[in-house]
Amino acid sequence: MSIKITGTGSYIPSAIEKNEDFHQHEFLNIDGSSIESPNEIIVDKFKAITGIVERRYADPQLTSSDLGFLAAQKAIEDANIDPEELDYIICAHNFGDVKANTIQSDLLPCLASRVKHSLRIKNPKCVAYDILFGCPGWVEGVIQAKAFIKSGMAKKCLVIGSETLSRVVDKHDRDSMIYSDGAGATIVEETDEKGGILAHETASFTYDEAYYLFFGNSNNQDLCRDTRYIKMHGRKIYEFALNNVPDAMKTCLDNSGVDIKNVKKILIHQANEKMDEAIIKRFYRLYKTKVPEGVMPMSIGKLGNSSVATVPTLFDLIRNNKLDGHTIEEGDVIIFASVGAGMHVNAIVYQY
C-alpha cells in the first residue's frame, strides 16, 4: 500500500495586477512618514528581490471558499472519484472568507464545511475542517491526510489550500505587492501503486519567532486604528527560512532513504524568489553538491505569493504541462517544502 496524490486542481484568478499598477500607490513607512524614493524605484527594487512581475486577484464576487471549491471540483474530476467517498475535507487558509471591500473575516461555518456544501456532498461521515498553519498549511494538510489513511480512519481525503490575501493587505505598505489570491486542491488516497509519500517533517518555532508575521495597523496613521492588516518582519523571516528550511528538508530526505541525486524537483512555497533560491543553495550545500539546473520550478513571477495555494497550484501546473520547461514523470522524486506564519516549517518527500 502507498498513499498518493491521485488528482490535482487549481484555480488561478483571471484578474492580473501588474507591478506598474502600484506606481500610483501612496507607500509610507511604518511611522506614517513618506518614503523618499519614487514609486517606480520602489517597484523596481521589489521586482529585483522577489522576482514578482504580476500577481492575480480574485473577482469581487468570489471568496476564498469559492476558490477552494473551484479547485476541488477539478481535483475530484482529475482523480475520477465520487465525492461522496471522501472521508475528510481539509481546507488550509489563514484569513477565512473576506468579502471584497470589507474588513471583517468570516469563519462561521469553517471554509471546509462551505466547500463540502458547495460540492453537494450528502455523506455526514465526510468530516470537513480547517487548518490554520500559515503558508505551510496545504503541506501539513497532506501530512494529516496521510496519518488518517495510514491509521485506517480514512481512504480518500481532499486537501485544499485557498487564500484571498489581496483583501487583507495594507495598500500603504510596500509588502502588499507580494501577496496574491488563488487555490490549489489535491485528492490523497490509498493505492496499490508504488511511491507516494515517503517521508515528512514538521517543526514549529514559537519561542522568539511566533510573531514574525502578524496583524497590525496600516502605515497610514489617518486610517482606523482598529482595522488590522497582514504585516511581517521581512528580514527576520528571510534569515529564519535560510537557517531552518534546508535542515527540515534534509531531515525529511534522509528519513526517506532517497539519495539527493535522485531528487527531480523541489516545489517550495513561492514566497520570495531570492529567498527560495538561497534556501535551495543552502540545502544542496548540506550534501556538498551543486544545485541541478531546473530543479526548482517557479511560479511567483506571474502568480505572486498566494500563501497556502502556491505549492498545490505549482504541482497542478506541472502535472498538466502548463509550466514551461518542467515535467514530472512516473517514479520521479519530488520534495514539497514550505515556511510561514507561526513560524512553521515542513517538508514531504514524494515519489510520483
Residue 251 sits in the same domain as residue 145 = no
**Using an 8 Å Cβ cutoff, are 9 and 83 in contact?**
no
**Using an 8 Å Cβ cutoff, are 110 and 131 in contact?**
no
Residue 51 sits in the same domain as residue 78 = yes
**Using an 8 Å Cβ cutoff, are 185 and 8 in contact?**
yes
3 state DSSP class of 11: strand
Instruction: Measure Cα distances from 184 to 70, 268, 306 in Å.
Output: 9, 14, 10
Residue 264 sits in the same domain as residue 295 = yes
H helices then E strands: how many in the chain? 8, 13
Domains in the chain, number: 2
Each of the 352 residues of the chain gets a pLDDT tens digit; together they read: 899 999 999 999 999 999 988 888 888 888 888 888 888 899 898 999 899 999 999 999 999 999 999 999 999 999 999 999 999 999 999 999 999 988 789 999 999 999 999 999 999 999 999 999 999 999 999 999 999 999 999 999 999 999 999 999 999 988 899 999 999 999 999 998 889 999 999 999 999 999 999 999 999 988 888 888 999 998 999 999 999 999 999 999 999 999 999 999 999 999 999 999 999 999 999 999 999 999 999 999 999 999 999 999 999 999 999 998 899 999 999 999 999 999 999 999 999 9
Residue 330 sits in the same domain as residue 310 = yes
For residue 116, give its domain range.
Answer: 2-193
- The whole model's pTM is what? 0.94
Verify cis geometry, omega within 30 degrees of 0, for the bond prior to 109: yes
State which of 193, 221, 245 marks the end of a domain: 193
**Which cell numbers in the block locate residue 294?**
531546473
Residue 255 sits in the same domain as residue 284 = yes
State which of 170, 193, 216 marks the end of a domain: 193
Instruction: Measure Cα distances from 248 to 77, 201, 204 in Å.
Output: 33, 6, 11
3 state DSSP class of 157: strand
User: Can you tell me the distance from the alpha carbon of 76 to that of 84, in angstroms, rounded to the nearest whole number?
Assistant: 11
**Using an 8 Å Cβ cutoff, are 118 and 158 in contact?**
no
**Using an 8 Å Cβ cutoff, are 68 and 13 in contact?**
no
Q: Residue 152: which residues within 8 A CB-CB, separation 6 or more? A: none
CATH code where residue 7 lies: 3.40.47.10
Please give the single-letter amino acid code of residue 112: A
Residue 142 sits in the same domain as residue 216 = no
Residue 233 sits in the same domain as residue 245 = yes
Residue 170 sits in the same domain as residue 279 = no
**Using an 8 Å Cβ cutoff, are 303 and 56 in contact?**
yes
**Which cell numbers in the block locate residue 243?**
537557517
User: Can you tell me the distance from the alpha carbon of 254 to that of 284, in angstroms, rounded to the nearest whole number?
Assistant: 13
Residue 15 sits in the same domain as residue 125 = yes
**Using an 8 Å Cβ cutoff, are 157 and 89 in contact?**
yes
Nearest to 110 by CA among 90, 125, 130, 88: 130
Residue 286 sits in the same domain as residue 337 = yes
3 state DSSP class of 65: helix
Of all residues in the chain, what percent are helix, strand and coil, respectively (each to 5)? Answer: 35, 25, 40
Residue 176 sits in the same domain as residue 210 = no
Residue 281 sits in the same domain as residue 181 = no
State which of 153, 178, 193 marks the end of a domain: 193
